[in-house]
Structure 1
């Protein structure tokens, strides 16, 4: 029986990269959805017999239910996830269909995880927060944690060059992340942190070098606390060229908060930023770098374990992170009923195996 995969929002940069990864690494039949049929997309798919395009509105619940029922894995790539509820996952549970998403929003993640008991009863595997960050980054942390006897502090840093190759979506996600202060687990208690504050310089492998990063709200800020017995979890984000960091800081600290809470304001800032990166991408590139550092006890000594990743295309790396998990689910190598963040579902052995198969190089 041929596997059939439904990619919601598969017309976007991330969804397209997930689809391409599945074409490269599985034999699945793939259905890519979007709100409108676009000739360029259709033409791009004509040479690939295992992919088809389906016009689908997520708000059309009946059509969405029928589409889900016709597949055995659904991959939700239709962000920004701040604007999404868990209805896609609920339909997957109703239809007994496995689920995977690229969500990057704390509130959405909580809604999805709250359905774990229902997913267990339905016998489906559902994994949230796949992709590059969160996603590959979570598995890097798991690897580092497993090298210690007692982990105490997790420090994750992400840096994206220009647009990251992910189109305007990455801009929307960044500005949406500036809207509200958020809770961070620091010294064994939840503390309120202002987004894009507390700049620090971290050292990344070439070609990045020393880069500024800032506090940023990510779902792993709380899933890693649930996953590992640590006292502190820090999640920070930065951009290159560095002047984008300063512009984002101004948006977070000087602009009236009403601007960032207005969808029109978010869209305006996102479109302006995207046009700017269309220029700067030519010299900055569209890559991504991740640094995971876990401090703790090993053989009675306090040590630090670090891993890093550098990839030339953020969207392609995200596609590999999600596609690798989809491949494992389709081949039944990853079968864990319930709803899970990546670090709780994916073993380090399988993670390293799929990354090697995709030539994703991680320095441990």
Structure 2
């Protein structure tokens, strides 16, 4: 029988990129959900006959449960995940359906990981944080850690040009991530850091070159130390191109009154204004992404550093590759791991390299 994939939030730019990737690499029947008939229809027509639409509101629990019951795999891409609970995963567990999501906020990740035992007992594979960062970035780290006898330090740097080709939801996520300090694993202990602090200059490949990144609250900040217990420091930093977006974000993080940044209306205003600005600057900045993963540790008794970088001209499409490849492996039964896992725990490096090759993505690796 042909596999059935349900993508919640599938008409958005990331959700539709996931649908496109799955349609390209599998024969699955794909259903995308939306509250907007015209937008969902446009996505379906663009991708082709493999895609159907389902008009659905995530607040309608009964309709969600019915949709999940008819699927073999559910992909949750309806962010921002700051506002979501684990109800979709709970329904998948109850109905024996595999689950992926593109979540990118630690609070949601913790909610979902709490269902690990329940998912294992139900025999379903659930993988969180499966997009580009987190997602592909986690697999880059795993590949780096495997080069060492003992990995000790991980430094992840993400740089996005303009809007990254994503919608206003990604802008919401950025500003929601500035609301409060977070804990980072530094020198073997948890330390509080401020979002968008500690500006650092990173040498990325052309065309990004010397660019700036800042501390940002990501799930990797706590999932990587758990996955790789010898590691004493995990740094997760993010930046934008052109650089003046970094300055504007820094101002929002450090100058705006904290009560203001806690208000839904303020976040909505900032997100829409920012998206309107990037619609203009995308024309010369592009919408690409570059990820740099540097792992330090002990190899053959000596200190060493291993660096890998990956670039894509469209951030949203890259996220689709990350989630789509995991969907492909689940549907092909190349990946089966009952429980709830992060990407670095679930995906082997061999499968990761297979996914990159199939999608013509190039990983640049070097010893420093």
- Write out aligned runs for 1:245-284 (5 A): 245-284=246-285
Structure 2 distance, partners of 1:102, 1:295, is 28
Deviant stretches of 4+, over 3 Å = none
Structure 2 distance, partners of 1:270, 1:190, is 31
Asked if 1 retains the 8 angstrom alpha-carbon contact of 2:216 and 2:238, the reply is yes
Match of 1:330 in 2: 331
Larger mean CA deviation between 167-176 and 135-144 belongs to 167-176
Structure 2 distance, partners of 1:132, 1:361, is 14
**2:290 pairs with 1:297:** no
CA deviations on 1:260-311 (whole Å, 9 max, x unpaired) are: 1101000100111111101100000000000000000000100000000111
RMSD: 0.8
Structure 2 distance, partners of 1:83, 1:92, is 19
Structure 2 distance, partners of 1:138, 1:211, is 21
Structure 1 distance, partners of 2:126, 2:152, is 28
Structure 1 distance, partners of 2:174, 2:14, is 15
**2:60 pairs with 1:63:** no
Asked if 1 retains the 8 angstrom alpha-carbon contact of 2:152 and 2:295, the reply is yes
Structure 2 distance, partners of 1:59, 1:12, is 17
**CA offset at residue 258 of structure 1?**
1.3
Structure 1 distance, partners of 2:73, 2:111, is 20
Secondary structure in 2 matching 1:198: coil
**CA offset at residue 335 of structure 1?**
0.1
Asked if 1 retains the 8 angstrom alpha-carbon contact of 2:11 and 2:43, the reply is no
Asked if 1 retains the 8 angstrom alpha-carbon contact of 2:16 and 2:43, the reply is no
Match of 1:8 in 2: 8
**2:162 pairs with 1:162:** yes
- Cα pair distance change 1:306/1:236, threshold 3 Å: same
**CA offset at residue 41 of structure 1?**
3.3
Structure 1 distance, partners of 2:14, 2:236, is 22
Structure 2 distance, partners of 1:283, 1:36, is 30
**CA offset at residue 43 of structure 1?**
3.9
Structure 2 distance, partners of 1:343, 1:230, is 14
Match of 1:241 in 2: 242
CA deviations on 1:49-96 (whole Å, 9 max, x unpaired) are: 111000111111111000000000000000000000000000000000
User: For structure 2, which runs of at least 5 residues remain unmatched after alignment?
Assistant: none
Matched length: 363
Asked if 1 retains the 8 angstrom alpha-carbon contact of 2:32 and 2:40, the reply is no
**CA offset at residue 44 of structure 1?**
4.2
- Write out aligned runs for 1:175-254 (5 A): 175-228=175-228, 229-254=230-255
**CA offset at residue 343 of structure 1?**
0.2
Match of 2:83 in 1: 83
Structure 2 distance, partners of 1:63, 1:44, is 21
User: For structure 1, which runs of at least 5 residues remain unmatched after alignment?
Assistant: none
CA deviations on 1:177-224 (whole Å, 9 max, x unpaired) are: 000100000010000000000000001011000110000000010000
Structure 1 distance, partners of 2:43, 2:300, is 55
Structure 1 distance, partners of 2:263, 2:134, is 26
Structure 2 distance, partners of 1:61, 1:237, is 35
**2:27 pairs with 1:45:** no
Secondary structure in 1 matching 2:206: coil
CA deviations on 1:227-257 (whole Å, 9 max, x unpaired) are: 0020000000000000000000000000001
Superposition TM-score, scaled by structure 1 size: 0.99
Match of 1:308 in 2: 309
Structure 2 distance, partners of 1:168, 1:239, is 15
CA deviations on 1:94-149 (whole Å, 9 max, x unpaired) are: 00000000000101000100000000010000000001000000000000000010
